[in-house]
Amino acid sequence: MQNTSRRRFIKQTVVGTTGIAVLPLFQSCKVASSDTIRFGIIGLGQQAMNLMMGFSRISGIQVVAGADVYGIKRERFQKRMDDYYQEVGESVEVKTYKNYKELLDRSDIDAVVIATIFQEDLSAIASLSSNGITSPADLDGKMYASYQARYEDEIVRQMIKNDGGKGDFKIVNPEKLGIWNTIIKGKSDATWIFRNWEGIQAENEGIDLNLFKMADYGIPYGYSPIIMTSKKGVAKRARGYAHFLEATKKGYLYAQDNPSEAVECFASHVAEQDLNIDLVQSQIFSSPFYGNMDNWGVLEKQKVNQYLDWLLENKLEEQPFNFEDVVLSGLV
């Protein structure tokens, strides 16, 4: 496959298939002798902010770019990074983008997946139990609050059809920061959530949800979130990337055994609207899905290809892609 086609695929799918994307940016004209790793983050929600602050505190790593359609998120990201670099006495230029494609179009980007955070998908379609929606088929004629991520609405439609429904539902596009509240206040009937975040939040607030996981309804959804980087950068500094991933693995595996200490690393950066979430409970829920010393970060070829084939079969992509087109294995 031509490299331009692979780049087009990743640019079109990065937000829809990952929720967030963490992209190390190597600028050949600015790389120090210590091979500083520069990160760009697409999707500046709470999970991204937690990752951002965690990565920025690692020696040799700089978070230098962020993209989100919402100005309030870009402003929050910009302020936190500027404040952080001022605090530590570093002169780092941080840029933000409304359109994530502008970040991906940087000349130093040649995106490829190198690791996954979770070994299983922790997302689900959620509806209040009081709505009486007990399976995806019940969403016919209902109102779905969409994040407008690529493939999202069609995945939901196919879930409904796979469950025996028509796939005929109404789509609304509230502001992303307010989507969860539209469910709670009954302004929409369902939306996409992460079970280890909004799912825990609902449990903490005594809100009963019905959750529908993609895999239970014939959708071979891929890995989320993932770590992406520059393929050219790996070719030049494979050892540095491997060391970075090894250190990252140790951090996640340490968090498995020490959830309270892990939470202390990011608790001060949690958004005000999420302060009622039991963060330790969220971490305990998440940690088994990190994997173990042998498989942390590893993306299974068969699983990736199943999802890519599904996208083609359902005409969500016009051109076939395979594992080697989007994943660079061997670093973890």
Domains of the chain, with CATH numbers? 3-119+223-326 (3.40.190), 123-217 (3.40.190.10)
Q: Report how far residue 303's alpha carbon sits from residue 77's, in angstroms, rounded to the nearest whole number.
A: 33
Alpha-carbon Rg for the chain, nearest whole angstrom, is: 20
Q: Which has the higher per-residue pLDDT, 202 or 35?
A: 202
Q: How many CB atoms lie within 10 A of CB 254?
A: 11
What pLDDT, on the 0 to 100 scale, is given for residue 2? 47
Highest mean pLDDT among 143-157, 171-185, 296-310, 314-328: 296-310
Reported confidence tier of residue 13, pLDDT bands at 50, 70, 90: very low
Reported confidence tier of residue 114, pLDDT bands at 50, 70, 90: confident
What is the token pair recorded at 133? Answer: 């929606």
What pLDDT, on the 0 to 100 scale, is given for residue 223? 83
- Condensed to tens digits (0 to 9), the pLDDT of residues 23-70 reads 444 333 333 434 566 777 777 766 667 667 666 776 677 788 888 878
Secondary structure (3-state) at 130 = helix
What pLDDT, on the 0 to 100 scale, is given for residue 108? 54
What pLDDT, on the 0 to 100 scale, is given for residue 130? 95
Residue type, 149: A
Q: Which of 1-15, 164-178, 258-272 has the lowest mean pLDDT?
A: 1-15
Reported confidence tier of residue 18, pLDDT bands at 50, 70, 90: very low
Please say if the pLDDT value at position 322 is more than 60: yes
